[in-house]
């Protein structure tokens, strides 16, 4: 009886052991990310002029050559995949899973010389390509963008040797650009609109450059204000530069103070010298004039002007002005 139970336990445990071994074996091998998720996410375009942003499988096809995979986060899936094609196993494509969700997000295409010719990115990790870039030689030629995230191209950026020239935007979703933004020296110069849909600019907005500059200045001022509130300075002195320049600045300041002191002494010496009045004619026989001494300013406090003395009233006479004056009697025999 016991022997039967042991046999039953062994038979029931064998499938579980086999499954565990298979899981461990699968875990040790790195699997490639899902390559068909991007193609399945793109729907049929409602307009024949619309072009879907999909992965270019001409070179980025893992089944067409040798692949090298690198598992960065050790989850059993390759996060960086390099694809080699041809007899010489030339590098044709590099793929990357940027957010480690098991789905590829970036594709880099290379030509036979090993130079990059195209880039494709899924920026929002929704399974659709949002940005495609084309290169001519080593310089960027143009971009394809999906601004409204519907899977179709609605904006094109044109470059000249890597320098942005203009942006063409499809605003009505018909697959054709109807707004053209021209750049000059990296700034908006003018904006044109195709109103009737013939592919030509019908209206120009030359004031767009001024509005763009105002908007840029406003954003710059807001960033500056936020940095000041946070205590972050926009410019930081180079380490060691301020300390190295401090002695030189101190020496220059000392020289400047010394020069000012010397100039003050010279001015004082000129003030102490007597002033000699030049004569119109000079007689050689006449003695040399004695220089007049310049009176030094008196340090004594000047006296105040004397106040006028008050006038005293005269004393009144004892006699009344109306009283008669006494007359002396004349002697006898005196002439009358």
The arithmetic mean of pLDDT across residues 4-29, rounded, is 43
Q: What local confidence, expressed as pLDDT, does residue 208 receive? A: 82
CA distance 224 to 239: 23
Q: What local confidence, expressed as pLDDT, does residue 269 receive? A: 56
pLDDT for residue 236 is more than 50: no
268 — pLDDT class (breaks 50, 70, 90): low
Q: What local confidence, expressed as pLDDT, does residue 108 receive? A: 96
160 — pLDDT class (breaks 50, 70, 90): very high
Structure tokens at 238: 């180079």
pLDDT for residue 254 is more than 80: no
pLDDT for residue 232 is more than 90: no
Residue 57 CA, distance from chain mean position = 41
Q: Edge-to-edge, what's the strand order for the sheet holding 139-145?
A: 66-70, 80-85, 90-96, 106-110, 116-121, 131-136, 139-145, 155-160, 163-169, 179-184, 187-193, 203-205
CA angle 283/287/291 to nearest 5° reads 105
Q: What local confidence, expressed as pLDDT, does residue 5 receive? A: 46
Nearest by Cα to 55 from 134, 157, 128 = 128
Q: What local confidence, expressed as pLDDT, does residue 324 receive? A: 52
Q: What local confidence, expressed as pLDDT, does residue 315 receive? A: 53
Weakest-pLDDT range from 75-89, 214-228, 276-290: 276-290
Q: Which tens digit of pLDDT belongs to each residue from 73-105? A: 988 888 999 999 888 889 999 999 999 999 999
pLDDT for residue 319 is more than 90: no
pLDDT for residue 227 is more than 90: no
Q: What local confidence, expressed as pLDDT, does residue 9 receive? A: 38
Residue 66 CA, distance from chain mean position = 46
Q: What local confidence, expressed as pLDDT, does residue 163 receive? A: 93
Query: Tokens 């500056």 correspond to what residue?
Result: 224
Residue 278 CA, distance from chain mean position = 68
pLDDT for residue 55 is more than 50: yes
24 — pLDDT class (breaks 50, 70, 90): very low
pLDDT for residue 188 is more than 80: yes
1 — pLDDT class (breaks 50, 70, 90): very low
CA atoms within 13 A on the CB side of 120: 22
327 — pLDDT class (breaks 50, 70, 90): low
CA dihedral 113, 117, 122, 128 (to 10 degrees): -110
CA distance 179 to 167: 8
CA distance 120 to 109: 9
Residue 196 CA, distance from chain mean position = 40
Whole-number percent of the chain with pLDDT over 90:
31
185 — pLDDT class (breaks 50, 70, 90): confident
223 — pLDDT class (breaks 50, 70, 90): confident
The arithmetic mean of pLDDT across residues 206-226, rounded, is 84
| Sequence ranges of the domains in the chain | 27-148
- Residue 144 pairs with which residues in a beta bridge? 132, 156
Q: Tell me the average pLDDT of the chain.
A: 73
The arithmetic mean of pLDDT across residues 172-183, rounded, is 93
CA distance 158 to 153: 14
């Amino acid at each position: 009886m016991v022997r039967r139970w042991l046999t039953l336990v062994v038979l029931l445990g064998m499938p579980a052991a086999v499954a565990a071994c298979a899981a461990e074996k699968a875990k040790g091998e790195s699997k490639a990310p899902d390559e068909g998720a991007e193609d399945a996410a793109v729907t049929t375009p409602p307009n024949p002029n619309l072009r879907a942003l999909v992965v270019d499988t001409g070179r980025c096809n893992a089944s067409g050559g040798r692949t090298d995979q690198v598992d960065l986060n050790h989850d059993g899936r390759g996060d960086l995949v390099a694809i080699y094609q041809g007899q010489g196993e030339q590098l044709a494509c590099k793929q990357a899973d940027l957010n480690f969700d098991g789905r590829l997000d970036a594709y880099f295409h290379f030509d036979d010389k090993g130079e990059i010719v195209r880039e494709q990115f899924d920026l929002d990790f929704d399974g659709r390509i949002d940005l495609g870039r084309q290169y001519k030689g080593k310089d960027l030629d143009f971009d394809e963008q999906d601004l409204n995230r519907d899977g179709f191209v609605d904006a094109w950026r044109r470059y000249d040797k890597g320098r942005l020239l203009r942006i063409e935007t499809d605003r009505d979703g018909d697959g054709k650009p109807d707004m053209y933004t021209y750049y000059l020296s990296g700034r908006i110069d003018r904006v044109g609109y195709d109103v009737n849909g013939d592919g030509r600019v019908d209206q120009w907005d030359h004031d767009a450059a001024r509005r763009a500059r105002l908007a840029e200045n406003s954003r710059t001022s807001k960033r500056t204000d936020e940095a000041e509130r946070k205590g972050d300075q926009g410019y930081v002195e180079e380490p060691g530069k301020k300390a190295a320049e401090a002695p030189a600045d101190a020496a220059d300041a000392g020289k400047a103070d010394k020069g000012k002191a010397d100039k003050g002494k010279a001015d004082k010496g000129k003030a102490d010298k007597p002033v000699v009045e030049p004569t119109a004619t000079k007689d050689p026989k006449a003695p040399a004039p004695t220089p007049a001494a310049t009176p030094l300013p008196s340090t004594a406090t000047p006296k105040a002007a004397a106040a006028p003395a008050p006038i005293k009233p005269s004393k009144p006479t004892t006699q009344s002005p109306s009283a008669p004056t006494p007359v002396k009697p004349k002697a006898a025999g005196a002439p009358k």
